[in-house]
Structure 1
């Protein structure tokens, strides 16, 4: 697991180092004008997620066949190639090409989540996923700090090439050192309890799949849609030091996510209600995002970014835990990949639409829209959780009633035998 953790850190550092400062970076590549900068930045931020939306389910199916270890190795090699292209980019088109490649061949987080979700007993999967996502938070903490500190200097390209080298080394280490997790023993008849073959299991067979898909997309739409306009928001509050402030605040967000990831995982194991966890966390994100439109000082953003990071840490791992618990062992990578594709759809759409929204509305209203999206995600997830609990309650009541009838019938039988 240390190798897996390290691979995720390297991958996420490369993925996130430009994200919070992307508007400033595309300006450095020669783009002028607020709307043009925000639009190019939105496309560049969304590009990896857009490619991953299509590629993740495919890579998940491949991982179920060839092994999850090799999906981690593949993603790290893809990161090395993408970072090299981005380091030598001379314009926004080449930058976006590198980001698209990063998404198409990437997916360390998804591969690692499937890997972690297959390790350990069922009651400890939440903790394993929590530790896995702490690596994502670590990379997302390191990346913005490094990117924000080096924006505007040639050292930024050197850092990208260094990450490419680290990714290559990590890929070799994972290829040699990782071992495939032992899978659960399948049913002896090769069928689930409802008679369906595990190979026929699809995303739609997960309970409440549709509302959860919408909740996943809406939550990530709001969170990632905030990123390109957050730089604009900070610039209105602190024009002279916007770059360092954006990097610092983004790092604060991911620092909170790092500190809370494992806690959410343990909570999911103890509580056993990951959908409810998702809903509560999405509600917290909604509050934090909306409040960021109302403050008048960058210092006031610090507690809000802490809250956002704390709640964001629960989203993906809770969704992956829920769908992983409902998927057959030999279909888990594919089902987790399908769940992740909905997160990625929101992650793509948010930044892509942020620029056009900003051209039509002021930044305060657009931030409110992103907060509303997180609120919708919370409502959908909490409703799904209540329906699940209601169904379980009815099932438990039916079992209790059946047992009570059995005890009553047994008592009557013993009474008749006694009178004889």
Structure 2
């Protein structure tokens, strides 16, 4: 088997264990905050929000630095650093005795992040360019699978072995990810960038053929994460408002929250392969348009079943959007700066993770649950317009370059 295929399979399992480990803690984080002595409703809401978001905020700040280091020292080293670093940070959280310790350890966890973007960059640097869409989309199914299975596994373990034990089990999963990376992934010879040759942020963008399009793709990544997260804070409450007599709201909410991941698993490799054939940009624009239509439709649902069906359909588009962005980032950047570019993109992704729930909570407080879906649709629509403009500028520039060559 070709080495890049072996690496793809190995990295897939590494990303799966990482996604599983990170997501299985999130459902009971407020319960753990409460167990650490935070009792009032207001303080519990505040600390739950802080310990959740600080990981993403720190990750957003340090991701470009890790990307730069990956370009200089190699991506396998960054994968080992991230998996072992997160394992230690999460293991220590099991022994926290107050909420401040948990907050600081969650910040430390953000500092050690970067497994999945470096895995993407590693695969992107080795896979044949004509198969990059399929490879990146296949790799994205690992994270999706982990994020689907994580909350279910975390909830089950929390009920049966206790909250603190879940952190220990999570750390063990990340050690498995570390071992998979150490023994199975081969990076091979690659052009490393010395510290003296390291480009400044400005020089990185100057080296790109279409820097405007690159920034537009970063913004698109943020919007994709924002629209995934905006519904999170209100989903259970919205379902409860539609089915007040139901006595299994938690189960319904969990099912409706997870169902897009199932359809995303089905669509990601297929749409990635289709993008390799007809153009990744077309796939990205089409799936964003589908997302706008579905979010607008969600604002008119009257039953949980209707919401579940629309979110299932949304998953088909969702499975293609981020891999399509990442494939385009590879296409329009060189190996010399791929790590930096993926680091910047990861920062925008984390910003979307923070901004989405904040927007959803604010809109629902001011205008009601249904307006969250409408507001999300408007944000995606605005993003489509800016992305379409950036892609048009790229085509015009390409046409001018070709015309100049003919002359």
Which of 205, 209, 215 is residue 214 of structure 2 equivalent to?
A: 209
What's 1:317 paired with? Answer: 323
Worse-matched range after superposition: 390-399 or 105-114:
390-399
Match of 2:53 in 1: 46
State the SS of the aligned residue for 2:247.
Answer: helix
How far did 1:379 drift?
2.2
1:281 to 287, 293, 307: 287
Distance in 2 (alpha carbons) for counterparts of 1:86 and 1:110: 24
Secondary structure at the counterpart of residue 118 of structure 1: helix
Q: Aligned equivalents of 2:96 and 2:376: distance in 1? A: 31
Q: Which has the larger displacement, 389-398 or 286-295?
A: 389-398
**Matching of residue 105 in structure 1 with residue 112 in structure 2:** yes
Give the equivalent residue in structure 2 for 1:56. Answer: 63
Deviations 1:292-335 (A, max 9, x none): 33322222222222222222222222222222222221221111
Distance 1:260 1:156, change over 3 A: farther
Indicate conservation of the 8 Å contact 1:225/1:354, yes or no.
Answer: yes
* Counterpart secondary structure, 1:329: coil
Q: How many residues align?
A: 389
CA distance in 1, matches of 2:76, 2:241: 46
Give the match's secondary structure for 1:334.
Answer: helix
Asked if residue 350 in structure 1 is aligned to residue 356 in structure 2, the reply is: yes
Q: Does 1:78 align with 2:80?
A: no
**Structure 1 residues 31 and 152: alpha-carbon distance in aligned structure 2, compared to 1, 3 A threshold:** farther
- Corresponding residue for 1:226? 231
Distance 1:346 1:313 in 2: 17
TM-score, length basis structure 2: 0.83
**Native 8 Å contact 2:118 2:342 kept in 1:** no
Q: Which runs of 5+ in 1 are unaligned?
A: 187-196, 403-420
Aligned equivalents of 1:88, 1:234: Cα separation in 2 = 36
Picking from 114, 118, 122, the partner of 1:115 is 122
Partner of 2:265: 258
Compute the TM-score of the two structures, normalised by the length of structure 1: 0.81
Q: 1:350 to 1:268 in 2, by over 3 A?
A: same
> Where in structure 2 are the equivalents of 1:7-406 lying within 5 Å?
7-19=14-26, 33=41, 40-88=47-95, 95-149=102-156, 154-183=161-190, 199=199, 201-203=203-205, 205=208, 206-238=211-243, 240-274=247-281, 276-396=282-402, 402=407
C-alpha deviations, 1:31-78, integer Å up to 9, x for none?
A: 665x77665554444333222111111111111111101111111113
Q: What's the offset of the Cα at 1:181?
A: 4.6
1:4-26: CA deviation from partner (whole Å, max 9, x where unpaired): 11111111112223446767776
Aligned mates of 1:328, 1:380 — CA distance in 2: 24
Change in 2 beyond 3 A, CA 1:291/1:392: same
**Cα separation, partners in 2 of 1:21 and 1:359, compared to 1, 3 Å:** farther
